[in-house]
Structure 1
Amino acid sequence: MTNGRRTLLLASVIAAATARAQAQVFPSRPVRIVVPFPPGGGVDVFARAIVPALQVRLGQPVVVENIGGASSRLGTQAVLRAPADGHTLLITNDTLAAVEALPPPGAAPLLPGLAPVTLGIDAPNLLVTHPRSGIPDIATYAARLRARPGGLNVGVPGWGTSHHLTSELIAQAIGARPEHIAYRGGGPLLADLLAGTVDAALVTLGAAIDQVRDGRLVGLAVTSAARAPSAPAVPTVAEILAPDFEQVTWMGLLAPAGTPAATRDLLHEATRGALAEAAVTERLAALGFGVVGAPAPRFAEVLSGTAGRFAAVVAATGIRPADA
């Protein structure tokens, strides 16, 4: 064996040993999970549903920190600035793909600084209103919007979020656009919707399903191809407006790029195990979430595909960033 080959072999052995050692010592302290939205929205609900089971598997406390603002960019950037050691993670949704498709002027891309870990769940979005709106179903919603384009206002959890772009897709199916009002996350949006401040909202099903069940809100339609088992009385957009309509949201776990592969693998196994627990699965199903638990390569494919679809929506509608 030549000296060059010996050097390469030695380097490979050292790298493998280092990765194993890092995996063995991780986590060495509490793990911080950043949710880039305020408390109360769908991503926050998902994160807090899996944290108890996740921290048991990791053997360290897991703390959720909500950093909302700028359509999830603020919280995501906080993770990008963190050390790539697995102790600061991101749980977010397909708004990550939306902000890549519609970045503020001069903003650097976010995706190169992140490493997918686990595609956790998917869920329909829900077009929802309050009982005092006088809009009992999506057919009435569409009729009112066609009669007076822009005459209805629809709240979304941030300008340029996946919910905003999905609402634009619904508007395309109707043939008329509402006035969109951007909030700093689903929690504040739902508070205003319950108060009757906005006519309707588009949120993740899990964020509003309890209010729909108890009659405080009215579910107009879900964006999945089939009705959600957790809300069987709510029709799909496809049933009423557009036969081929489907745009579900997803949520997943990511780490800063550069996080060791062994650490990411450990995190994936811990997350997948947490998602497989019966209590967690039942809780998520009751909230309208479907457990996926897919590994990083599949998550990367979904993330790239979603970003491409949202870029097409932006091009078709001419939407501009909020601060453009």
Structure 2
Amino acid sequence: MIRIPRRGLLAATILAAPAVRAQSYPSRPIRAVVPFPAGGGVDAFARAVAPALSATLGQGVVIENLGGASSRLGTVSVLRAPADGHTILITNDTLAAVEALPIPGTGSLVAGLAPVLLGVSAPHALVVNPRAGIPDASTYAARLRSGRPPNIGVPGLGSAQHFASELLGQALGGRAEHVAYRGGGPLIVDVLSGTLDGGMVTLNAAIDHIRDGRLLALGTTGGGRSPAAPEIPTFAETIAPGFDIETWMGILAPAGTPEPILAALHAASLTALREPGVTRRLNGQGFSTPGLGPAPFGALLQETVARFAAVAGAVGLKPDA
């Protein structure tokens, strides 16, 4: 399982930041690329943090939703941007998923990025339409092993949520029929309408619908219940003992960005994350806020790539699926 430490690396980055401010960084608004459509979990994280980050940096932070190809389109746009700190990527562990399942002939995405801050982590939730005839996790497990598995939406084949669903299927001895979407927002619309049986999404993307009774949560994927939704059991306690996977979301910049600018970005991002109003908002949506610095974030990224690559090999996932 992947453990996410809960302590950031604030002190060193705060010391490094003033040197950059003396060089008038940032000198213009920051372009923050979210490689998913609006309405999903990463978009919610970005929009919670962006105003505080703007206030800390003294420049606007403009969010650009650029979804498609399981986050590849938006990520590549950041790789092609100048490495001057004025373009950043706000993404999740789908970055590790696409790295673990590369398209033939393409290079590494991770190698072209510099970690800045791992901001939040959260479990995924498997949600279904209340009319789908899947009232609980045990029924879902039985359906997976039957000849009529449920159709489960994921925010892109090869996304972090897809890998989480495949891992759950491995634990239960079956596989869902996965349907790819451009992001969590469009996926949830189709689960609400009954077009899909269910979907695997980050908890915060569905939590309001769960609270209102429009979606039924069969379980969450973390090792313990989410403080934001303690009524939802984990799969570990119902049908898959020991099952534990959480998504993470963070900020990265193009590789080659000068170290003083990376330090300033980390310090400003962590300050924004720790702003009480931001923390309360994120906690209420089901996020924890570890605030990891560049080194531990980079290590977690590589660990996640390795875990997802093992899953891809085990179930035979192909990048052109």
TM-score over 0.5 for the pair: yes
> Separation in 1 of the partners of 2:29 and 2:114?
20
Q: Does 1:118 align with 2:114?
A: no
> Separation in 2 of the partners of 1:85 and 1:262?
10
> Separation in 2 of the partners of 1:142 and 1:245?
14
Identity of aligned residues (%): 59
Q: 2:144 is matched with which residue? A: 145
Q: 2:184 is matched with which residue? A: 186
Contact persistence 2:117–2:292 (CA under 8 A): yes
**TM-superposed deviation, 1:148:** 2.2
> Separation in 1 of the partners of 2:62 and 2:85?
13
- TM-score scaled to structure 2, two decimals? 0.93
SS in 2 for 1:203: strand
Radius of gyration: which is bigger?
1
Q: 2:7 is matched with which residue? A: none
**TM-superposed deviation, 1:83:** 0.3
Q: 2:174 is matched with which residue? A: 176
Provide the aligned length of Structure 1 versus Structure 2.
Answer: 304
**TM-superposed deviation, 1:20:** 3.5
| Deviation readout 1:223-252 (Å, 9 max, x if unpaired) | 000011111111111111221110100000
List aligned pairs for 1:13-32, cutoff 5 A. 20=19, 24-32=23-31
Q: 2:245 is matched with which residue? A: 247
SS in 1 for 2:116: strand
**TM-superposed deviation, 1:322:** 2.4
Matching residue's letter, 2:272: A
**TM-superposed deviation, 1:24:** 2.9
> Separation in 2 of the partners of 1:121 and 1:21?
26
| Deviation readout 1:91-138 (Å, 9 max, x if unpaired) | 000000000000112121101100000010100000001111121211
Residue number among 274, 286, 291 corresponding to 2:289 in the alignment: 291
Q: 2:221 is matched with which residue? A: 223
Contact persistence 1:120–1:294 (CA under 8 A): yes
> Separation in 2 of the partners of 1:322 and 1:284?
34
Residue number among 180, 195, 199 corresponding to 2:197 in the alignment: 199
Q: Does 1:165 align with 2:160?
A: no
List aligned pairs for 1:1-324, cutoff 5 A. 20=19, 24-149=23-148, 151-322=149-320
Contact persistence 1:98–1:310 (CA under 8 A): yes
SS in 2 for 1:206: helix
Matching residue's letter, 2:240: A
Q: Which runs of 4+ in 1 moved over 4 A?
A: none
> Separation in 2 of the partners of 1:301 and 1:63?
28
- TM-score scaled to structure 1, two decimals? 0.92
Q: 1:11 is matched with which residue? A: none
CA RMSD for the aligned pairs?
1.2
> Separation in 2 of the partners of 1:317 and 1:106?
22
SS in 2 for 1:290: coil
